[in-house]
Homo-oligomer: A and B are copies of this chain.
Amino acid sequence: MSSAETATADCKQAGAAADSRTFKLTVAYDGTRYAGWQVQPKRETIQAALERAIAQVCRERVRVTGSGRTDSGVHAIGQVASFSLTAWRAGAADLTRALNSKLPADISVRQTEDAVADFHAIRDAIGKRYRYQLRVGGNRDAFDYRYRWHLAGPIDLDAMRQAAAAIRGRQDFASFQAAGSDRKTTVRDIRDLVLSEQDGVGQGEESPGRLLAIEVEADGFLYNMVRNIVGTLVEVGRGKRSPDWVGEVIAARDRRVGGPTAPGHGLCLLSVDYPPEVLLSSSEPSRCE
């Protein structure tokens, strides 16, 4: 893509009427190389890479707001971010192409859409879905170690499923919030929590062990909430705790009662939901460019 020149041509000349345009960006990334989403001094982050790409494409320094800050090593297939530009005059799809031509290969913009002027990726989010991937037993895998927590095993998946029943619905999930967090409310509505066995064999190990996935959807998540849920379910799967214990953990409203925090690299932000009104009605139909 030789969009270096076209990109510049797509930016208004300095002095042109500065009517700001707000965009909704859907972005995928392999978080392995990054110190998480949020800009940090001296460490490379997803947000910093995106802001640099925007500055290169349109000579405009803007702040990009992510729907949430993913931690170091955490991946995303459908992270959403909002930002505004005054100088972009071409279509939103052209902005996707221009940004991808500047971004490193492990970050890819999947879609750029015109949003209403006050669209805000955190405030307007109405739901999120995460997937946590595990590999139980089997050999090490030189390919998928970046995307799975590898446990020695064995794991009792049925016991984990029984335990998971207690985690669904609208409840106070203070026990799954990272210690030291300070949210107004720790009540969240977990709409879906599914444990499944995956059968893909990665890049072809003969003894891959069991590949498990835990998907969780909620109206919102507390800091480290998915990783703490996974760490707690794994305690049950390993037989260290009974399935009933998870109800006690939730009732305690105390992070110290639950299992350990599962490592970040098994986690992937699958999607963030917004009401359709956040998009400009004149926008192209929602599709992946």
Contact = CB atoms under 8 A, between A and B. Distances in A.
A108 B140 contact: yes
A203 B77 contact: yes
B203 A200 contact: no
A60 to B, nearest CB: 23
A139 B106 contact: no
A105 B145 contact: yes
Contact of A142 (B30, B206, B270): B30
A141 B203 contact: no
Interface string A179-223: 000000000000000000000100111110000000000000000
Contacts of A78: 204
One complex includes copies of this chain to the number of 2
A166 to B, nearest CB: 29
Interface residues of A, number: 31
A145 B200 CA distance: 19
Nearest to A28: B142
Contacts of A287: 206
Q: Chain A interface mostly helix, strand, loop or mixed? A: loop
Given A77-B204, A110-B205, A288-B207, A28 B141 contact: yes
Interface string A129-159: 0000000000111110111000000000000
Q: Which of A29, A77, A143 neighbours the largest number of chain B CB atoms within 10 Å of its CB?
A: A143
A35 to B, nearest CB: 17
Interface in A77-123: 77-78, 100, 105-108, 110
A64 interface: no
B205 A139 contact: no
A289 B207 contact: yes
A108 B139 contact: yes
21 contacts: A28-B142, A28-B204, A28-B205, A30-B142, A77-B203, A77-B205, A100-B139, A100-B140, A105-B142, A106-B145, A107-B142, A108-B140, A108-B141, A110-B206, A110-B207, A139-B288, A139-B289, A200-B200, A203-B268, A206-B287, A207-B289
